[in-house]
Structure 1
């Protein structure tokens, strides 16, 4: 099975490495080709267009920023890609309706489409500890392509038809923003009240309120060092904006998610969009 991976960013690059380690024949495409070139030394073939990548593969994996980037790669008039007998696996965070639209266009062209968003960041790819959630219109398709996901995953889940994995991913990413914001507010209060942080964390860790992400982000917040991000703030804002659209569509209350959007927008306006999303601590607890 020949694979292509389109998008060699924070997640795509280590995914490509894991696929090569697993023995797959792989070609890679990135809009900024220089970011993909080092993968040649690991055995990948680097191509200059998305059409080349898909033409030379049986299965094309997309790890792209958003639906616009996916559309540009797949459906640009310059690409003229044939999807006949091709499988497209979309792994980014997009709306369920966007995923269904991609499925319709690809399947109408004779291809197969799966969605497979992941929970985790760059270190989880390297450690093969991602949680991969798959939406496919048949369990047979899930079973056929599960070995690909095993190359970088701790667990792979069949969620249901296309659209359901995309919705599950949004529900989980809402928690990323909510937990980071809630912890930032509590930690900020502890600091402002001059209470011992170690005491606070000791109690928190022993309680039902604890989440492991609190310890993962604690030192970043205390040191206000948000460089070398695993997940930049600007990408979290994009995801939370998608959450807002989906919860509104479902008739759910939106005030919580709107507050998260406001916090992240202020964070990015202050010039922190490229930093780790935990930089929202600076907005919630200014110096």
Structure 2
């Protein structure tokens, strides 16, 4: 089975690594904090002491790092790629991904952006939504890998289209969660029973399954054990706003939401599930 280098073993990266080990890939792993590789080492992965260690044994380098600049920095540290494919699966800006693709080309590698929708549970089951961007021949070459993580990996188009898809979806997560929080606040303030409101919402075209998932957290004010944190949601929303402006899109209506999310900085809400933004819509 193919040997893969996995750079970044946070919540999502570790789950992707566990899935790849489960289906038989040989895995070399690295993280800035070596302790975060422990689960994967117990499952049979080999730990790297620096990102480029043992690169000659890997044909693919998967990165699941915090953002575009960090990903570019780590990939640059690999030096000559010798034809290896770099597959970033973390969220980054469209312009960042396009620049990284050129960087990888100059380092002698191929590039396929493959951001995902979903988190730890979906990664472990191999049911992530993979939105790839790049050349079709590179996508086809990586399908055996991608099909272990998603039942239907999709090639969205050229480099940048996968990143655009991911940012657009994460913006919808932020906007939907915010809108639902506002609705819930007004419903409760009016004295209307939340369950009666939910009965109507579930029958409408406005309903999304995530609403019920987040209702439990919002009503109980429990945001621990997150799959996607408030801090990451804020980061991605700010990235969406930056890319929207570069594209000439008027997204100023989202500035208020970004400002609202700043209220979580340096609080416990930031490390909690992103539905913790519900605490920020309490205007009392």
Q: Is the TM-score greater than 0.5?
A: yes
- How far the C-alpha of 1:82 sits from its partner, in A, is 1.7
Q: 1:189 maps to which residue?
A: 186
1:11 aligns with 2:42: no
- How far the C-alpha of 1:251 sits from its partner, in A, is 1.8
Distance in structure 2 (CA, Å) of the matches to 1:225 and 1:37: 28
Distance in structure 2 (CA, Å) of the matches to 1:249 and 1:149: 30
Provide structure 2 residue ranges, at least 5 long, that are not aligned to the other structure: none
Out of 99, 113, 119, the position equivalent to 2:97 is 99
1:152 aligns with 2:149: yes
Q: 1:258 maps to which residue?
A: 255
- How far the C-alpha of 1:68 sits from its partner, in A, is 2.2
Identify if the C-alpha distance between structure 1 residues 80 and 246 changes in structure 2 by more than 3 Å, giving closer, same or farther.
closer
Q: 1:44 maps to which residue?
A: 45
Does the CA-based 8 Å contact 1:54-1:81 persist in structure 2? no
Distance in structure 2 (CA, Å) of the matches to 1:118 and 1:245: 20
Identify if the C-alpha distance between structure 1 residues 61 and 80 changes in structure 2 by more than 3 Å, giving closer, same or farther.
closer
Q: Deviations over 1:122-142 (max 9, x none)?
A: 2211232210000112x1211
- How far the C-alpha of 1:286 sits from its partner, in A, is 5.3
Q: 1:28 maps to which residue?
A: 29
- How far the C-alpha of 1:71 sits from its partner, in A, is 2.4
Distance in structure 2 (CA, Å) of the matches to 1:111 and 1:35: 27
Out of 277, 280, 283, the position equivalent to 2:280 is 283
Superposition pairs for residues 1-287 of structure 1, below 5 Å? 1-52=2-53, 54-75=55-76, 79=77, 81-137=79-135, 139-285=136-282
TM-score under structure 1 normalisation? 0.94
Distance in structure 2 (CA, Å) of the matches to 1:101 and 1:35: 29
Distance in structure 1 (CA, Å) of the matches to 2:130 and 2:111: 16
**Paired residues, what number?**
283
Structure 1 stretches of 4+ with a deviation exceeding 2 A read: 53-56, 267-271
- How far the C-alpha of 1:80 sits from its partner, in A, is 5.2
Distance in structure 2 (CA, Å) of the matches to 1:204 and 1:259: 25
Does the CA-based 8 Å contact 2:111-2:138 persist in structure 1? no
Q: Deviations over 1:62-116 (max 9, x none)?
A: 00000122123122xxx35221221100111111111111111111221101100
Q: Deviations over 1:154-178 (max 9, x none)?
A: 3210111111111111111110000
Does the CA-based 8 Å contact 2:178-2:278 persist in structure 1? yes
Does the CA-based 8 Å contact 1:184-1:285 persist in structure 2? no
Distance in structure 2 (CA, Å) of the matches to 1:142 and 1:272: 38
Q: Deviations over 1:200-225 (max 9, x none)?
A: 11100000110111011000000000
- How far the C-alpha of 1:252 sits from its partner, in A, is 1.8
TM-score under structure 2 normalisation? 0.95
- How far the C-alpha of 1:271 sits from its partner, in A, is 4.2
Pick which of 258-267 and 227-236 moved more. Answer: 258-267
Distance in structure 2 (CA, Å) of the matches to 1:155 and 1:286: 43
